[in-house]
Amino acid sequence: DAKTTQPPSMDCAEGRAANLPCNHSTISGNEYVYWYRQIHSQGPQYIIHGLKNNETNEMASLIITEDRKSSTLILPHATLRDTAVYYCIVRVALLISNFGNEKLTFGTGTRLTIIP
Amino acid sequence: DGGITQSPKYLFRKEGQNVTLSCEQNLNHDAMYWYRQDPGQGLRLIYYSQIVNDFQKGDIAEGYSVSREKKESFPLTVTSAQKNPTAFYLCASRGDGYNEQFFGPGTRLTVL
């Protein structure tokens, strides 16, 4: 799986949009970008994933550059409960034949702090 | 409510003792996983199971054992052979045809 680079920490004011960047310059054509977050002492929570088109769900939006070498996770109206470590992961989509490719490689992520 | 449960949330054991961590899911997921997380670090895969009665070693399986006798359950045993067992242990599951994994709340194991 391609390696990702994220800033170690970011602050964002409550109510503003939080924009979390991720670089994945060695991404392959069949690799997706996944975002998870982990609130302190809890299990990681899936947020969103995408291949090349921008994606939006009830939690966030994912913007992937045209060359796919970087992406940005957007939390449109950050709340205090969004304070967490955010992980950007790049991996191939699982197929029936990918039995040996189950691993999610979590780096150290970005620690996002929402400021009241 | 559907989800993944892990028990207990905090666990203490004496050095040299085996201990089993519970993971149960009622999501009807085939695939289940065990990860270990150390302070300030990402997750490392210990074992995973694609289907009942089958499981595979992950990156750091030494000193751990698992079983998958039922679809809903994937217990992890931390044996005395694990040299540094104090860590946060996370269980996850994945539905067939889906790529995202869903995680339990975790068990924090401390060896005294």
Mean pLDDT over the full length of chain B:
91
A87 touches chain B (CB under 8 A): yes
Range from A70-79, B12-21, B40-49, B96-105 that averages highest in pLDDT:
A70-79
Mean pLDDT over the full length of chain A:
89
Q: Tens digits of per-residue pLDDT, A65-75?
A: 999 999 999 99
Q: Find chain B residues with C-beta within 8 A of A98's C-beta.
A: none
User: Could you tell me the CA-to-CA distances from B61 to A32, A68, B7, B44, B79 in Å, in that order?
Assistant: 27, 34, 20, 10, 11
Percent over 90 (pLDDT), chain B: 68
Chain B residue with CA closest to A111: the answer is B40
Percent over 90 (pLDDT), chain A: 72
DSSP designation for B70: B
Examine the pLDDT at A97 and tell me if it is beyond 70.
no
Mutation target for B interface from A94, A95, A105: give the one with most B CBs within 10 A: A94
Q: What is the mean pLDDT of residues B87-91?
A: 96
A76 touches chain B (CB under 8 A): no
Distance from CA of A1 to the nearest CA of B (A): 14
Provide the strand spans (E) within A51-94: 55-56, 61-64, 70-75, 84-92
Is-contact A1 A31, C-beta < 8 A?
Answer: yes
Q: Tens digits of per-residue pLDDT, B23-77?
A: 999 999 999 999 999 988 888 899 999 889 999 999 899 999 999 999 999 999 9
Mutation target for B interface from A35, A46, A49, A55: give the one with most B CBs within 10 A: A46
CB–CB of B103 and A44 under 8 A?
A: yes
B101 vs A41, A46, A108: nearest CB: A46
Characterize the bridge pairing of strands B54-57 and B43-51: antiparallel
**Residue A80 dihedral angles phi and psi, to the nearest 5°:** -60, -30
Q: What is the mean pLDDT of residues A14-18?
A: 97
> Based on the number of CB atoms within 10 Å of its own CB, is B33 exposed (0-12), middle (13-18) or buried (19 or more)?
buried
B59 touches chain A (CB under 8 A): yes
Distance from CA of A16 to the nearest CA of B (A): 27
Examine the pLDDT at B93 and tell me if it is beyond 50.
yes
CB–CB of B88 and A104 under 8 A?
A: no
Percent over 70 (pLDDT), chain A: 89
pLDDT at B76: 97
